[in-house]
Amino acid sequence: MTELLFILGLFFLIAGAEMLVRGASGLAVAAGVAPLIIGLTVVAFGTSSPELAVSAMSAMSGHADIALGNVVGSNIFNVLFVLGLSALVVPLVVSRQLVRLDVPLMITISVLLLLIGLDGKISRLDSLFLSAGLVGYMAFLFYQNKRNNRETAANHKETTLQNPTSKPRSCAAYVFSIAGGLILLVVGSRWLIDGAVVFATRLGVSELVIGLTIVAAGTSLPEAATSVVAGIRGERDIAIGNIVGSNIFNILFVLGLSGLFSPDGINVAPAALNFNIPVMIAVAVACLPVFFTGYTIARWEGFLFLGYYAAYTAYLFLFASAHSALPAFSRVMLMYVIPLTVLTFLVMVVRAICNGNRNNCPEPE
Q: Are 237 and 97 in contact (CB under 8 A)?
A: no
| Three-class secondary structure of residue 191 per DSSP | helix
- Tell me the pLDDT band of 107, cut-offs 50, 70 and 90: very high
Q: Among 257, 243, 258, 220, which Cα is nearest to 43's?
A: 243
Q: Among 334, 45, 333, 315, which Cα is nearest to 179's?
A: 45
pLDDT at 364 over 50: no
Q: What percent of the chain has pLDDT over 70?
A: 77
| Range in 153-167, 176-190, 241-255 the model is least confident about | 153-167
pLDDT at 168 over 50: no
pLDDT at 149: 62
Q: Give 68-80 pLDDT, tens digit per residue.
A: 888 888 899 999 9
- Tell me the pLDDT band of 115, cut-offs 50, 70 and 90: very high
Q: What percent of the chain has pLDDT over 90?
A: 7
Q: Are 151 and 26 in contact (CB under 8 A)?
A: no
pLDDT at 165: 44
Q: Among 65, 313, 45, 79, which Cα is nearest to 186's?
A: 45
pLDDT at 328 over 80: yes
- Can you give the residue ranges of every domain in the chain? 2-323, 326-365
pLDDT at 209: 66
Higher pLDDT, 215 or 262: 262
pLDDT at 63 over 60: yes
Quote the pTM value: 0.76
What are the angstrom distances between the C-alpha of 14 and each of 111, 239, 326?
33, 14, 36
For domain 2-323, give the CATH superfamily: NCX, central ion-binding region (1.20.1420.30)
What are the angstrom distances between the C-alpha of 47 and each of 5, 52, 74, 100, 181?
20, 10, 11, 24, 10
Spatial CB neighbours of 214, under 8 Å, sequence gap ≥ 6: 193, 196, 197, 200
Q: Among 193, 315, 250, 261, which Cα is nearest to 70's?
A: 250
Higher pLDDT, 153 or 190: 190
Alpha-carbon span 52 to 50, nearest angstrom: 5
Q: What is 131-152 written as a DSSP string?
A: HHHHHHHHHHHHHHHHHHTHHH
